[in-house]
Homo-oligomer: A and B are copies of this chain.
Amino acid sequence: MTATRAHRAVLDAEVLRAAALLRPDEDAVQVAARAAWTVLVEPGDGVAGTLIAAYGPVEALELAMSDSSLLPDIGDAKAMSEARARWRPRADPRAVADALHGCREVGGRMLLPGDPDWPIALDDLGPHAPIALWVRGGAEALTADRSVSIVGARAATPYGETAAAELAGDLAADGTVVVSGGAYGIDGAAHRAALGAGGQTVAFLAGGVDRAYPIGHQQLFDRIRGNGAVLSEVPCGAAPTKWRFLQRNRLIAAAGLATVVVEAGWRSGSLNTAGHASSLGRPLGAVPGPISSAASAGCHRLLREYDAICVTNAEEVRELWGGGGRVLDPTPAEDPDRRRLLDALSDRTPLTPEELARRTGLPTERVRGLLGLLGVEGAARSHDSGWIGQTRR
């Protein structure tokens, strides 16, 4: 059968040429199909993701552009027809060609699933994973061993910016890639500190990577591209919209081993990023601040309502992913006898078990047993003829 394929309405000759220029020596139809999808859909379109996962980008496009009711793996016919209704108005081959040319014109690349430097952490988004990524800079920062997402308010205070800078600088200095959103405030402070420490940083944008948004970070993005990457799942020329900002946050949350919210007001968009981290099962940290500061109210909310872990320095941030993750069981109630013995131990003067029994009112056998346990925990150690406390109470 040589009936014209419906997808050729989108993947016309100009589009295929543009695709071949951007990614030479590859199947231009495959490349062009993914580029087309980034033009057709809003970020995170789960129907598109499911269709592409089932059929590949070319056949999925064919199904999207045709009226075929044969969808053996996509059960929801209504969802499919709604999806076609929202995609087709955007199925303009000129827009797809512009996206491909535009990327090449700014020296960018198109990153596709399966590429060696495709960030597989984003695959945890399942059907809502990006279909492709438009990148400027070196994408290898996305596949580094360690990465952390540092986010927070645009309306940051000096306290928040300092905290973000200290955390990001310390983490970047030991090779952890700092992931953020390139916004004013906390994001900017984190990116700058990472660069200042000689480390790498990655910025996920809501709009196309051809345009600096916010405009005041144009030079920052230039520097980031030299030591990391600027990425987007929407093509060059696409504007940053509210929806795209919110969806971009899911990429930030997915890209880091953990997400840390440094400073956030009660309604801050970074709480949205925290929500994505929770949905993905990524560890979530929040930096506390003065209870008198509205700029920290969102972080305190995360500690109370989102099970975020209180982090106060870079080491505690590392523990978010390196320490085996969130302990699910609450700290068991402390043995009161253990508490009494800890109270009675001196950090300087060795005390015998008998002396400790006298001080605590506990039987000597009990004291000996507890001392053994404390010794194993490193909270006490024997010295000369007695025991010394090793714990900061």
Q: Which chain A residues have a beta carbon within 8 Å of chain B's beta carbons?
A: 41-42, 44-49, 76, 78-79, 82-83, 85-86, 125-126, 128, 159, 162-163, 243, 246-247, 266-267, 269, 271-272, 275-276, 278-281, 287-292, 296-297, 300, 303-307, 309-310, 312-313, 316, 326, 328-331, 333-337, 339-340, 342-344, 354, 357-365, 392-393
Contact = CB atoms under 8 A, between A and B. Distances in A.
Contacts of A344: 243
Given A310-B300, A361-B48, A243 B289 contact: no
B288 A334 contact: no
Main SS class of interface, A: helix
Contacts of A41: 361
Contact of A364 (B82, B278, B304, B334): B82
Work out how many copies of this chain go into the complex: 2
Given A45-B361, A359-B243, A361-B42, A336 B128 contact: yes
A279 B47 contact: no
B278 A79 contact: no
B281 A333 contact: yes
A279 B310 contact: no
B334 A279 contact: yes
B333 A278 contact: yes
A275 B393 contact: yes
Contacts of A162: 292
Contact of A287 (B126, B291, B365): B291
Given A292-B159, A309-B304, A361-B41, A267 B79 contact: no
Nearest to A347: B267
Contacts of A267: 392-393
Given A289-B290, A340-B128, A359 B42 contact: yes
A44 B360 CA distance: 8
Contact of A79 (B86, B246, B275, B364): B364
A338 to B, nearest CB: 8
